[in-house]
Each structure stands twice: as C-alpha cells, then as structure tokens.
Amino acid sequence: MKAPAHSTPSEASPTSGGHAFKPVLSLWALVLFGLAFVGPTAPYTFFGVGSVKSHGHFAMVYLVAMLAISFTAVSYGRMAAAFPEAGSTYAYASRAIHPVAGYLAGWIMILDYLLMPMLCVIVAAVTSNKLAPSVPYSVWVLITAATMTGINLAGIEMTSRATIVFNGVLSISIVWFVAAAVRALLGGTGAGTLMSIKPFYDPQTFSMAAIMSATPIAVLSFLGFDGISTLAEDSKDPKKNVGRATVLVCFIAGVLFILQTYLGQLIWPDYSKFNPIETAFSDVGRLIGGAGLFFLIAFLVIGQAWASGITSQASASRLLFGMARDGRLPHVLFGYVHPVLRTPIYSVLLMGSLACVGALIFDLDQSAELVNFGACLGFMAVNVSVISHYFVRLRERSGSGIWTNLVCPVLGFVICFYIWLSISPLAMRVGAWWTVAGIVYLAVQTGGFKRKLNMR
C-alpha cells in the first residue's frame, strides 16, 4: 500500500485565514522547550516516594526509566521525520495506520493535553499559597492560568524565550544543589564519599521487584518529551530537528535525574527517615544548603509548574489545530491561526480557561491520576505507527531497519503497556468514558460510520 502523500510544513499549515505557523525554532530551542515540559528538576517532587519504593535505589530506577522511555523517543523521531506536522500522535497514527486510528489516538491524547496545563496550574497555585497564604488559592489559580495563557498568546517565540528563562533558573538550582552536595559529602555528611555504587546496587536492600515497582513513578518524570513533536510546523528543518530534539531531551533529562537522585541518596542514605516523604528533596536541600536552598527548591517547584504549564498549553493547542485542519474538530474554533502572532489563539484561550476552571474544581491527586491514561495509549499508538509505516508499508527491514523499525517500537509498546496497566481504577474509568464520548462524536461525524474519514 502506498503511503499517503503529505505536504511540507509551509504547505500543510493553511488555516481559515490563510496563515501558517512561523518556523522559527532551532534544534536547541526545541530541546529547551522539551526540557521545560519534562522538567529537569522532576526529582524534587518524586525523590521521597521513589526512594522508599525502590529501597534506596532511585538513581537505578531513573537509569532503567531513561533506557525504557528512549525506545518510544526513537519512535517519535522516526515518525516526525516521515510526517513533520503539528498533529503529532494524531497525525502519525492517521497516516501510518488508518484515519480512524489517528482520530482515536488524537482524541485520547486530548485528555492528557487538557489535563497537563490544569495539573501545572494546581501545583503552582498550591505551592504559591503555602509560601504566601495571605493570597487565596483561587487568586493564585487565576494569576497562574492568566499568565501562562498570555505568554502563549504572544506567540511561539515568546513561549520559547520563556522556556529559556525557566530552564536558566532551574539550571541554577541544579548547579547549587550539586555544588552543595559535593561539598557536604567531602565534608563527611551522609555517605561521606562521592563514589559509591549503593544508589544503583546495595546488596543489603536491592530488589528487582522494588526497582520495577518504582519505575512507573520515574517514567512520570519524562512525560512531556513527546510535546516537541507538536511543534513540527514551528520548527526549522523539522524532519531532522524534531527527532533529534526528542531523543536529546530524554537523555539530557535522564542524566540530570540520575545525578540529582544519586547525590540525594548519598546525602541521605536512610530512606526510611523521610518525614514526610513528599518534602524529602527539600529536606535534603536544607541539610546541605540551609534555609536558602530549602526555599529555592520550593520556589522552583512553582517555576517548574509554570514552565511545564506554558509548554503543555502550547502543545495542546497544536494538537487541536492538527485535528481541526483535517476536519476532526470544528475548524472555525480550533483551526484558526492569528495572522500576526501565528498562534492558534482560540485553542490557547480554551486551554487556559479549562486549566483555570479545572484547578478550582479538582485537587492535585485527582488530576495527577488521570494524566497517564492518554499519554501511555498515545505512546503505544506511535510505536505501532513506526512498525506500520516503516517496517510493513515501506519494507525497511534490512540492517539497522530491523532495530529502529521493529525492535525499538516493540519494546517501547510493551513498556508503555506495562505502565498503562498500573494506572488507577479512577483514571481507567474516566479514560474509558472519554473514549466512549470520542467514539460517539466520531459516529456523528461519519453519519453513523457510513462515511469514511479522509485525510486532507
């Protein structure tokens, strides 16, 4: 079967106003965008629970997670090279598998993309309220959602600049933490050494079952790397740069995660004495850097939420645009790109409104439980897309093609499926209802499945 034709980015971006996205993002701008979405300081949030579940081997867990998620990252890179379009998972599954598969993958991913900005608003508002309780939580929600939305409305160049600023601040905290940790370890704090295999293998507490039970927590830290692919039409040379940036983000983030958790575990070897485990990394910071580092880590939890919220909102608007352009969603609302800002402003405003309202209704635990449902299914769809497009349709099966077009996507699919099975019953129920709603909407679009879905 011949692969469906597709347009170049400049041709593929027409909107109701005849405008296109502006291809301004370089490779390293994409990398910085992805790092802001993923969050180079993710261990600040997950260190305590990850250390306890892994019996003090959270650095090893992050190493396993980095290798695991890299298979799916390679698949995103392969599909971005084949179809450099804004729709990401939706576009890949539509063109590589079937338009219906693409629609369902895109619909399911919408849930994830809708929830991510809301989750980030909640994290930022809750933490801000704790640091400044005189300002009500609802006010922090409004301030956070409005600012994130305003930055995205200003255009992708403003979003890119914001991610550079946020990554710069986060990098300062990582450098401070690493320097303080090295000084403290050399001074005899904790393990009293910089060289130890115990964060990776301590024969007294090591358990492969414990490592695997903590891996889904570590994989959560990587969620968002796929957001780079939604910016294909905002990118320079997307066929090369989107794939490279996706893989680079996974490895750069993974190295930073491993470094932070390695040092954290050496500073505080007894994982059973975190109280509470939710603030474990802040407590490690206080131990080696005093109140200054403690508060910096707390502030950066807010900063990371802002960075992830801005980038996830931008990615969500591009996914909605890609689906609207193909007639899967109302074009007048989601397919419009502002002629000057080159931004899908209605989608951005919708994302901001939903994030604001949702943050006032749901709490952090409820929101966090729902995020993985769409993400894991979307990752599985991309892995299947690689096999369908390259291995089956194009018959690229010789030499390295066996590895990149079959082995990597199969491993990526299996790993994501395993993680998906660990999702909470609440997330499964909400995800199931959302999927049913998507099928009903598809039935309406196709006149009771009597009309075929065609790609543009």
- Candidates 295, 368, 370, 375; CA nearest to 122 is 368
Total domains in the fold of the chain: 1
Residue pLDDT, tens place only, 218-236: 877 787 676 676 676 677 7
**Residue 87 placed within a domain:** yes
Please report whether residue 333 resides in a domain.
yes
- pLDDT value of residue 420: 81
Number of neighbouring beta carbons within 10 Å of residue 441: 14
Burial class (CB in 10 A: 0-12, 13-18, 19+), 273: exposed
Query: CA-to-CA distance for 297 and 170, rounded, in angstroms?
Result: 9
Q: Is residue 19 part of a domain?
A: no
- Is 247 domain-assigned? yes
Intervals of the chain under pLDDT 50: 1-18
132: containing domain: 27-363
Answer yes or no: are the C-beta atoms of 208 and 31 closer than 8 Å.
no
Alpha helix segments (H runs only) across 83-155: 89-96, 99-131, 137-153
Q: Is residue 378 domain-resident?
A: no
Q: What pLDDT, on a 0 to 100 scale, did the predictor assign at position 2?
A: 37
Residue 442 lies in a domain: no
* CA–CA gap between residue 87 and residue 36 (Å, rounded): 20
CA distance 357 to 355: 6
Query: What was the pLDDT predicted at 87?
Result: 56
**What does the alpha-carbon distance between residue 75 and residue 302 come to, in Å, rounded to a whole number?**
31
In the chain, how many H helices and how many E strands?
16, 0
C-alpha distances in Å from residue 319, one per residue of 226, 233, 378: 11, 11, 12
As a whole number of Å, the CA-based R_g of the chain is 22
Question: Does 449 map to a domain?
Answer: no
pTM of the predicted model over 0.85: no
Q: Which residue has the tokens 């250390």?
A: 51
Q: Domain with 153 in it: what CATH number?
A: 1.20.1740.10
Is 269 domain-assigned? yes
Query: Using an 8 Å Cβ cutoff, are 369 and 424 in contact?
Result: yes
pLDDT in the model for residue 358: 84
According to the model, what pLDDT value does residue 389 have? 93
Closest residue by Cα to residue 155 from 328, 24, 44: 24
